[in-house]
C-alpha cells in the first residue's frame, strides 16, 4: 500500500477515479510488480500437496512384554514367554492397581489428594471379565420375555437354548504358569494318534468327552474362604455314599505361637541372619524372627523392656537386605523422634517424617506418626509400592478415643503385599484383635505373647513421712505375683501406730497431720531412702550443667532466659526432673536424655512419660492410687491394691467413628465404598465374623422354604394370611401398651399382693395368676412375682422345648386356660409386657408365706413335701375363678379405672379393642382344621422371618454406623460437598486437603473470610481449630479478630443446626469445639513478639503454646493447598506468609534426637 501511495504522489492526477484505477491495477496485475522490491510486495509461497499429513501416527505403548523363564532352584534359562500387559493406560488418577504407572520422581512422599489410593488388602477386587460378562448384550435378552406365540394361535415357535458364554468359549490358559510347555518328539512319534478319530463322533459325544477330560477351573473370589469352597472342590466318593463326610476344618486367621519350648535349630533354619545382636535372643524373639523370614505378619504382646524392639530392628534389616522399605509408626511425635535416633545409630538409611520435620524421605526405613501414614495411603503415595513391612508400635493406643480410629483406618487401607508387625503391651484379647486383622486383610497373623519380665517387678507400700520412719517399706507383691498379706498388715499397723502417737501429741486432728511441710517431708524421706545419700557428686552436677547448656545454646538469646528454662536448670542440677505436657519440648528432651544417662535421680512425670519411651527407671512411685476423694492419707484397701496390681489389663476396644474427611476421601474413589470401611472396622468384627455361618443358614432356609407347599384349604386360603398378620400386630401392640400402662402410678397402686391377672407369654396362654410382689429391673422395666396355676409336670421344660411355644398364637377370644390334668401351681416372674389383663378380681393371700414355701420346695430335700396351706388355698381360689369365668375375666379400664389421660395411649388402647372385634369376622376360623393350618402357616412365616433376618444381617443395612453415615451424607449434600449421586464436588476436594475441622475451614475458604485479612490475623483466627484446652484466660482482641471470631461462630452454628436437623447427635455443641483463648498469643507471635513476652499474655503453659503453634503451622499448610486447588493466588501467598511468620525460634527448635 505504501508503494501505491508513493506512485500516486509522483503523478499529477489527484482525482478519486485515478486513485481507484491505480489501486485496481496494483491488486489485479501481480505479475507486473517489480521483482527487486520484495519488502513492498505481498509474500506468497506456493503450496505443495502432501496427503501423508492427513494420517495420524501416534505411537501406542507396547501391549505385551517378554519375560525370561528360569528354573526356580538353579536359575538356568528355560526359555521366554510373552505376557499381555493389561495396565498400560492406568495411572494414579484412574486406577488403584499397584501395576499402574508410577508418578514423577520428585513427587511428594505423602502423595497428592488427586491420586487414588492403592487397593486395600483383603477387599474384594472387581473382576473385569465378570463386569463385562454381566453387562453383555446377551444377558439383557431374557428368554422368558420372548414372544413365541402369535395372537390367535394355540402354539408357537420353540427356541433352542444357547450355551452360556463359559461353555461356548474355550478355556484360555492363564499367563501365570511358572514353567513353559516341553514338547517331547519321541512321545509324539510313539503315540497312537488318529487325525480322523474325533470326526466320526457326534457333537454330543465330543462335548461329553471334553467335559470328562477337561476339569472345570475353580475360581475363588476374595470374599470366599476355604471353608466355603472345600465341599465344591473335593469330589464325593461313590463307593461308600453312606460314609459320613467329615466337616471341613475352620480356617483360623489368628494363630497362637507356642514359646514354651526352645528353638534349638534356630541358627540352622536361618544360617545367614539379616542382623545379629551381641546377646542371645529369647524364645519369643526367635519365633518372631522365624515368621518374619517367612514373610508372615506377627503380633507381639510383651511387657515393657521385654525386647519387642528386636523384632522391629530385624524387620528393618530384612527390608535393607531385600532392597524394600519399612515404615515404623508411633502414636506420638516424641516417640518418633527417639526411635529415629535409636535406629539411626543401628541403621544408616533411616528417615523421619512428622508434621514439621522431613529428614531423608528417600530412606529405606521411614519413621512417622500414624496420621501421616494414613495420609500417604489415602493419597496413593508411591512409597507404598516398595513397602514390605509396617511396624505399629504401642498398639494398645488404639483405645484412645480421639485418635484410635486412625489406627483402624490404616490397618484397613494397607495393600495386600504389605506385611504387618504389631507391638503391644500385654492385653487380654490379643487373639481377638489379631483375628480381626487377619480376616480383614485375608492373611494369617501369628500371635506371640509372653508374660516374662527380664527384670522382676515387685510392689511395696511406703508409709514413712520422716527420716525416722524412712525404713517403713513393706513388700505386698513379690516377683512371682503373689500378694503378701503379711506385708500389707505390717504397713497398716505401722500407719496406725504413727497415727495414734500423732493423736496423742496433736489431738484428734493429728491424724491428718496439718503441718504445711508434711508432703515435703514425705518426699525427702522417700528420696533419702532410695538414694541413701544427701547430695549428688560434683562430677554429675558438672555433666548436667555442660549437657544442659549445650542443648539450650541452640535457642535464641532471649529464649535461653525463659523462666521455665532457668527453673528447670536449677532442679536438674539437684538430680530432680519434671516431665509433662506443659514443659517446653526441648526441655522434655533434655530431661529424657539426662534420665537415660542416669543423671536424673528422681523424675516427676505423668503417665504419658511411659508411652513407649525407653527410660531405664529402677523404681516407680505412685503418689496417689486414685483421684482425690478426701481420704488420700489412708492406705488403700486390699481389694483395690489387688485389682491394680493383679487385675487384667485393659482390652483392645474399637474407637472407630465416622469423620467427614474419611467419607470424602473414600467417595472421591469410585471403586471404594464407605460401607466397606465400616464393615471391616474392629467395631463390626463380631457381626462380620459370623457372615459365613449366616450365609450357610440362609441357604438351608432357602431350601426349606422352597419345599413349603401351599395350604390346600378353601376357607383358609381366603384370609388366613391376613388373619395371621392381624394376630401378630395385635400381640405386638398389646405388649407395647401393657408395658406403658402398668408403669402408670395408678396401675402400680392397683397391682399389689392379691390382684388377679391374666398372663400371656411364650409358655402360658391366658393363664390366671395372682400378684405376690413387684420389682423394678436394671433397665427400669417392672416385673411381678406371681403364683400361677398350671398342669402338674413331672419334667421341667428345657430351653429347646420353650422355643416351641415362642410362636404367634391365634386370638380366639379371652377363653382362660383350664388344666386338664390335676391342677398345680408355679412361681413365675412376669414382665409387664406379658400381663394381658389386670382383672377387677382380688383374693386374700399371704405373699411371704407363699414365696417361702415355694422356694423351700425347690430344694432337692424338700421337693416331695406337700404345699403349705397358704399355697393350696390360693391355688384353689384361682382355679375356682377360672372355672366360673372360663370365657374371660373383666379387666380394669385404663381410662375409667386407672385414670390414664395420655391421648396417644388411649387411642392405641381403643385400637386394640377394635381389633378384638374384627377377629370373629374372618372366614378361616370356621375351618375344621383351623389350628393345624394356622400352626403350619405360622411355621412357614417363621422360616421367612428368619430368612429375612439373616439377609438383613448379611446386608449393609445391619451396620451399626450406617444410619450415621447416611446422616452425614445428607449434611455434605446440603453444604454442596457432594451432589445427589454422591460425587465429590470442588468443596469436597478442598475438604480432603484439610486434616482437622475440615468443614469449618472449607466454609471459611469458600466464604472468602480469610482472603481480606492480614497473615497475622489469619494465623490468630486459625488457632481456634488447634487449641484444645478448656480453661484459659480471656484474650484481648482487636476489632478484626472479634469480627472473625463471630464469623467462625456463625458458621459453626449453621453446621451444628444442619447436623441436628439430620439427626447427628454430638456429645457437645459444634461451636464449643473451637477455643479462642490463644488468639492474642498467636497474633503477637506472628507479629514477631519474643516468646518470653507472649507467655505473659496468657496462663496457658509454655509447652501447650508451642504444641498449638506447631499444629497451627500444619493447618496453615493445609489451607495453602486448598487455595491452590481453587485457584486463589492471593490466599495462597498469604498462607505462605502466615506459615513463615509463626515458624521461628523456640517453637520450631530442632529436636535434640535429630541432631
Q: Kindly report, residue by residue over 764-815, the tens digit of the pLDDT.
A: 888 999 999 888 876 777 888 899 988 876 444 444 444 444 577 787 667 7
Q: Select from 314, 296, 218 the least CA-distant residue to 253.
A: 296
Q: 699: which 3 cell numbers?
A: 441357604
How far apart (Å, rounded) are the C-alpha atoms in residues 911 and 736? 13
Q: How far apart are CA 945 and CA 939, in angstroms?
A: 10
Spatial separation of the C-alpha atoms in residues 700 and 947, rounded to whole Å: 9
Range with lowest mean pLDDT among 338-347, 453-462, 500-509, 912-921: 500-509
Helix/strand/coil for 328 = strand
Q: Supply the pLDDT for residue 518.
A: 61
User: What separation in angstroms does the CA of 442 have from each of 117, 226, 640, 680?
Assistant: 19, 11, 42, 11
CATH superfamily, domain 254-449, is P-loop containing nucleotide triphosphate hydrolases (3.40.50.300)
Residue 342 has pLDDT above 70, yes or no: yes
Dihedral, CA of residue 742, residue 744, residue 745 and residue 750, to nearest 10 = -30
Residue 43 is predicted with a pLDDT of 59
Above pLDDT 70, what percent of the chain? 77
Q: Tell me, what's the pLDDT at 974?
A: 95
Higher-pLDDT residue of 181, 1112: 1112
pLDDT in tens, 74-109: 889 999 998 887 777 888 888 888 888 887 776 778
Whole-number pLDDT of residue 530 = 61
Residue 225: is its pLDDT beyond 60? Answer: no
Nearest to 562 by CA among 541, 587, 537, 599: 587
What's the confidence (pLDDT) of residue 37?
61
Instruction: Flag the least confident range among 238-252, 487-501, 735-749, 931-945.
Output: 238-252
Helix (H) or strand (E) holding 768, with range, is: strand 765-776
Q: In the prediction, which pLDDT does 14 show?
A: 58
pLDDT over 50 (residue 163): no
In this prediction, residues 1021-1025 reach a mean pLDDT of 94
pLDDT of residue 625: 57
Give the architecture (CATH level 2) of 742-900: Beta Barrel (2.40)
C-alpha cell at 519: 508432703
- How far does CA 1046 lie from the centroid of its chain? 35
What does the pLDDT look like over 371-405, one tens digit per residue?
999 999 999 999 999 999 999 998 888 888 888 89
Residue 806: the pLDDT is 56
Using CA of residue 966, residue 964, residue 93, residue 136, what is the dihedral sign?
A: negative
Q: What is the CA radius of gyration of the chain?
A: 42
User: So what's the pLDDT on residue 201?
Assistant: 44
- pLDDT reported for residue 987: 94
C-alpha pair distances (Å), 175 with each of 76, 99, 243: 20, 16, 40
Summarised one tens digit per residue, pLDDT across range 474-490 is 787 777 777 777 777 88
- Secondary structure element (H or E) that encloses residue 139, with its range: helix 137-140
pLDDT of residue 197: 42
Contacts of 978 (CB under 8 A, 6+ apart): 664, 667, 969, 972, 984, 985, 988
Is 366's pLDDT higher than 70?
A: yes
Say if CB 1069 and CB 1054 are below 8 A apart: no
Neighbours of 377 (CB within 10 A): 23
- Residue 358 CB neighbour total at 10 angstroms: 16
The CA-based angle 685-688-694, given to 5 degrees, is 150
pLDDT band at 222 (very low <50, low <70, confident <90, very high): very low
Sign of the C-alpha dihedral computed for residues 1091, 1095, 1101 and 1107 taken in this order = negative
Tell which residue, 575, 499, 507, has the closest CA to residue 536.
575
pLDDT reading at 26 higher than 80: no
Residues 6+ apart with CB under 8 A from 728: 808
pTM for this predicted structure: 0.75
Local confidence band at 660 (pLDDT 50, 70, 90 cut-offs): very high
Dihedral angle computed from the Cα positions of residues 265, 269, 273 and 279, in that order, rounded to the nearest 10 degrees: -10
Task: Please give the Cα distance from 1009 to 214 (Å, whole number).
Answer: 70
Q: Which CATH number fits domain 963-1154: 1.10.287.110, 3.40.50.300, 1.10.3380.30, 3.40.50.10090?
A: 1.10.3380.30
CATH classification code of 536-630:
3.40.50.300
Region 225-233: mean pLDDT is 41
CB 433 within 8 A of CB 461: no
Q: Which of 433, 434, 413 is nearest to 123 (CA)?
A: 413
Contact 251, 692 (CB under 8 A): no
What local confidence, expressed as pLDDT, does residue 170 receive?
Answer: 38
State residue 1110's pLDDT score: 92
Give per-residue pLDDT as tens, 697-741: 999 999 988 888 888 888 888 888 998 988 888 888 888 888 788
The most confident of 57-66, 195-204, 918-927, by mean pLDDT:
918-927
Cβ(464)–Cβ(522) below 8 Å: yes
In this structure, what C-alpha cell is assigned to residue 633? 492419707
Q: In DSSP terms, which residues pair with 267 in a beta bridge?
A: none
Give per-residue pLDDT as tens, 301-335.
988 778 899 999 999 999 999 999 999 998 888 88
Highest mean pLDDT among 31-40, 113-122, 519-528: 113-122
Question: 295 pLDDT exceeds 90?
Answer: yes
- Residue 159 has a pLDDT of 57
User: CB–CB of 423/394 below 8 Å?
Assistant: yes
d(CA 858, CA 806): 26
Segment 239-258, tens digit of pLDDT: 344 444 454 456 789 999 99
To 10 degrees, what angle do helices 1129-1142 and 1015-1022 make?
70
Q: How does DSSP assign 986-1020, residue by residue?
A: HHHHHHTT-SSSHHHHHHHHHTTTTTTS-HHHHHH
Of the candidates 1074, 1055, 1051, 1052, the residue with the CA atom closest to the CA atom of residue 1064: 1055
| Average pLDDT across the chain, whole number | 80
DSSP β-ladder status, 365-369 and 325-330: parallel
DSSP code string of 27-63: HH-GGGS-SS-GGGS---------GGGGS--PPPPPS
Amino acid at each position: 500500500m505504501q508503494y501505491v501511495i508513493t506512485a500516486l504522489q509522483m503523478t499529477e492526477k489527484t482525482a478519486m477515479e485515478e486513485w481507484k484505477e491505480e489501486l485496481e491495477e496494483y491488486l489485479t496485475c501481480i505479475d507486473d510488480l517489480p521483482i527487486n522490491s520484495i519488502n513492498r510486495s505481498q509474500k506468497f509461497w506456493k503450496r505443495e500437496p502432501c496427503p501423508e499429513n492427513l494420517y495420524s501416527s501416534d505411537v501406542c505403548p507396547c501391549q505385551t512384554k517378554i519375560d525370561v523363564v528360569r528354573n526356580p532352584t538353579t536359575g538356568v534359562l528355560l526359555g521366554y514367554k510373552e505376557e499381555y500387559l493389561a495396565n498400560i493406560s492406568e495411572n494414579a488418577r484412574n486406577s488403584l492397581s499397584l501395576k499402574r504407572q508410577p508418578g514423577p520422581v520428585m513427587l511428594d512422599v505423602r502423595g497428592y489428594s488427586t491420586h487414588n489410593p492403592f487397593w486395600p488388602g483383603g477387599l474384594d477386587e472387581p473382576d473385569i471379565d465378570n463386569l463385562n460378562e454381566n453387562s453383555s448384550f446377551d444377558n439383557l435378552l431374557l428368554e422368558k420375555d420372548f414372544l413365541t406365540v402369535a395372537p390367535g394361535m394355540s402354539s408357537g415357535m420353540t427356541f433352542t437354548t444357547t450355551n452360556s458364554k463359559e461353555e461356548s468359549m474355550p478355556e484360555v490358559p492363564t499367563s501365570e504358569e511358572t514353567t513353559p510347555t516341553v514338547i517331547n518328539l519321541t512321545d509324539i512319534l510313539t503315540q497312537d494318534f488318529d487325525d480322523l478319530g474325533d470326526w466320526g463322533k457326534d457333537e454330543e459325544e465330543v462335548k461329553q468327552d471334553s467335559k470328562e477330560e477337561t476339569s472345570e477351573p475353580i475360581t475363588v473370589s476374595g470374599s470366599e474362604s476355604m471353608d466355603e469352597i472345600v465341599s465344591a472342590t473335593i469330589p464325593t466318593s461313590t463307593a461308600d455314599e453312606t460314609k459320613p463326610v467329615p466337616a471341613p476344618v475352620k480356617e483360623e486367621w489368628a494363630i497362637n505361637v507356642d514359646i514354651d519350648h526352645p528353638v534349638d535349630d534356630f541358627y540352622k533354619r536361618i544360617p545367614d541372619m539379616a542382623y545379629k545382636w551381641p546377646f542371645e535372643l529369647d524364645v519369643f524373639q526367635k519365633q518372631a524372627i522365624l515368621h518374619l523370614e517367612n514373610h508372615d505378619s506377627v503380633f507381639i504382646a510383651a511387657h515393657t523392656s521385654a525386647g519387642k524392639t528386636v523384632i522391629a530392628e530385624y524387620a528393618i534389616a530384612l527390608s535393607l537386605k531385600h532392597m524394600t522399605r519399612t515404615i515404623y509408626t508411633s502414636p506420638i511425635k516424641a516417640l518418633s523422634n527417639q526411635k529415629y535416633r535409636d535406629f539411626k545409630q543401628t541403621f544408616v538409611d533411616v528417615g523421619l517424617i512428622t508434621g514439621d520435620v522431613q529428614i531423608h524421605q528417600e530412606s529405606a526405613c521411614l519413621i512417622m506418626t500414624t496420621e501421616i501414614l494414613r495420609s500417604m495411603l489415602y493419597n496413593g503415595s508411591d512409597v507404598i509400592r516398595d513397602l514390605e513391612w509396617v511396624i505399629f508400635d504401642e498398639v494398645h493406643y488404639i483405645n484412645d478415643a480421639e485418635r484410635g480410629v486412625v489406627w483402624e483406618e490404616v490397618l484397613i487401607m494397607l495393600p495386600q503385599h504389605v506385611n504387618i508387625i504389631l507391638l503391644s503391651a500385654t492385653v487380654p484379647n490379643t487373639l481377638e484383635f489379631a483375628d480381626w486383622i487377619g480376616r480383614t486383610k485375608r492373611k494369617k497373623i501369628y500371635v506371640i505373647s509372653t508374660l516374662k519380665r527380664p527384670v522382676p517387678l515387685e510392689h511395696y507400700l511406703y508409709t514413712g513421712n520422716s527420716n525416722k520412719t524412712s525404713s517403713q517399706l513393706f513388700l505386698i507383691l513379690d516377683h512371682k505375683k503373689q500378694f503378701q498379706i503379711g506385708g500389707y498388715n505390717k504397713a497398716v499397723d505401722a500407719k496406725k501406730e504413727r497415727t495414734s502417737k500423732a493423736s496423742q501429741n496433736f489431738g484428734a486432728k493429728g491424724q491428718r497431720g496439718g503441718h504445711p511441710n508434711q508432703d515435703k517431708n514425705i518426699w525427702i524421706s522417700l528420696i533419702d531412702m532410695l538414694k541413701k545419700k544427701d547430695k549428688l557428686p560434683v562430677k554429675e552436677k558438672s555433666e548436667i550443667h555442660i549437657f544442659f547448656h549445650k542443648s539450650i545454646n541452640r535457642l535464641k538469646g532471649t529464649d535461653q532466659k525463659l523462666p521455665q528454662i532457668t527453673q528447670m536448670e536449677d532442679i536438674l542440677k539437684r538430680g530432680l526432673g519434671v516431665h509433662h505436657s506443659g514443659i517446653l519440648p526441648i526441655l522434655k528432651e533434655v530431661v529424657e536424655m539426662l534420665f537415660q544417662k542416669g543423671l536424673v535421680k528422681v523424675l516427676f512425670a505423668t503417665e504419658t512419660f511411659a508411652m513407649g519411651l525407653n527410660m531405664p527407671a529402677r523404681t516407680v512411685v505412685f503418689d496417689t492410687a486414685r483421684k482425690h476423694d478426701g481420704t488420700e492419707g489412708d492406705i488403700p484397701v486390699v481389694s483395690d491394691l489387688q485389682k491394680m496390681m493383679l487385675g487384667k489389663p485393659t482390652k483392645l476396644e474399637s474407637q472407630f467413628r465416622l469423620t467427614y474427611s474419611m467419607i470424602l476421601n473414600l467417595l472421591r474413589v469410585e471403586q471404594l465404598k464407605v460401607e466397606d470401611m465400616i464393615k471391616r472396622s474392629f467395631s463390626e468384627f463380631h457381626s462380620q465374623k459370623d457372615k459365613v455361618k449366616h450365609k450357610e443358614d440362609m441357604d438351608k432356609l432357602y431350601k426349606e422354604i422352597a419345599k413349603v407347599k401351599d395350604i390346600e384349604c378353601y376357607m383358609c386360603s381366603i384370609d388366613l394370611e391376613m388373619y395371621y398378620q392381624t394376630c401378630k400386630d395385635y400381640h405386638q401392640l398389646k405388649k407395647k401398651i401393657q408395658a406403658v400402662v402398668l408403669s402408670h402410678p395408678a396401675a402400680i397402686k392397683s397391682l399389689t399382693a392379691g390382684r388377679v391377672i391374666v398372663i400371656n407369654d411364650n409358655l402360658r396362654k391366658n393363664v390366671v395368676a395372682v400378684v405376690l410382689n413387684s420389682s423394678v429391673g436394671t433397665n427400669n422395666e417392672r416385673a411381678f412375682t406371681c403364683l400361677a396355676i398350671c398342669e402338674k409336670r413331672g419334667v421341667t421344660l428345657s430351653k429347646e422345648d420353650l422355643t416351641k411355644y415362642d410362636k404367634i398364637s391365634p386370638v380366639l377370644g379371652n377363653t382362660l386356660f383350664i388344666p386338664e390334668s390335676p391342677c398345680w401351681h408355679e412361681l413365675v416372674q412376669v414382665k409387664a409386657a406379658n400381663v394381658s389383663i389386670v382383672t377387677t378380681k382380688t383374693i386374700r393371700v399371704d405373699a411371704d408365706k407363699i414365696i417361702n414355701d415355694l422356694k423351700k420346695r425347690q430344694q432337692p430335700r424338700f421337693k416331695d413335701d406337700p404345699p403349705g396351706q397358704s399355697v393350696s388355698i390360693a391355688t384353689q381360689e384361682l382355679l375356682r375363678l377360672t372355672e366360673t369365668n372360663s370365657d374371660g375375666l373383666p379387666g380394669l379400664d385404663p381410662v375409667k379405672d386407672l385414670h390414664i389421660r395420655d391421648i396417644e395411649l388411649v387411642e392405641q388402647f381403643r385400637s386394640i379393642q377394635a381389633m378384638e372385634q374384627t377377629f370373629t369376622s374372618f372366614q378361616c376360623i370356621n375351618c375344621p382344621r383351623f389350628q393345624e393350618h394356622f400352626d403350619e402357616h405360622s411355621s412357614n412365616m417363621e422360616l421367612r422371618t428368619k430368612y429375612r433376618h439373616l439377609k438383613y444381617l448379611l446386608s449393609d443395612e445391619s451396620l451399626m454406623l450406617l444410619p450415621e453415615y447416611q446422616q452425614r451424607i445428607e449434611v455434605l449434600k446440603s453444604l454442596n460437598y457432594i451432589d445427589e449421586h454422591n460425587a465429590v464436588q470442588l468443596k469436597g476436594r478442598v475438604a480432603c486437603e484439610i486434616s482437622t475441622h475440615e468443614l469449618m475451614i472449607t466454609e471459611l475458604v469458600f466464604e472468602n473470610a480469610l482472603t481480606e485479612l492480614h497473615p497475622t490475623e489469619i494465623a490468630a483466627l486459625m488457632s481456634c481449630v488447634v487449641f484444645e484446652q478448656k480453661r484459659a484466660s480471656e484474650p484481648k482482641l482487636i476489632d478484626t479478630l472479634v469480627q472473625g471470631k463471630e464469623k467462625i461462630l456463625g458458621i459453626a452454628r449453621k453446621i451444628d443446626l444442619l447436623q441436628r436437623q439430620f439427626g447427628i447427635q454430638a456429645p457437645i455443641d459444634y461451636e464449643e469445639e473451637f477455643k479462642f483463648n490463644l488468639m492474642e498469643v498467636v497474633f503477637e507471635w506472628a507479629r514477631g513478639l519474643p516468646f518470653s513476652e507472649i507467655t505473659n499474655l496468657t496462663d496457658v503453659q509454655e509447652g501447650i503454646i508451642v504444641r498449638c503453634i506447631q499444629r497451627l503451622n500444619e493447618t496453615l499448610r493445609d489451607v495453602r493447598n486448598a487455595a491452590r486447588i481453587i485457584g486463589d493466588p492471593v490466599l495462597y501467598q498469604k498462607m505462605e506468609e502466615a506459615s513463615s511468620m509463626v515458624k521461628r525460634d523456640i517453637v520450631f527448635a530442632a529436636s535434640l534426637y535429630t541432631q
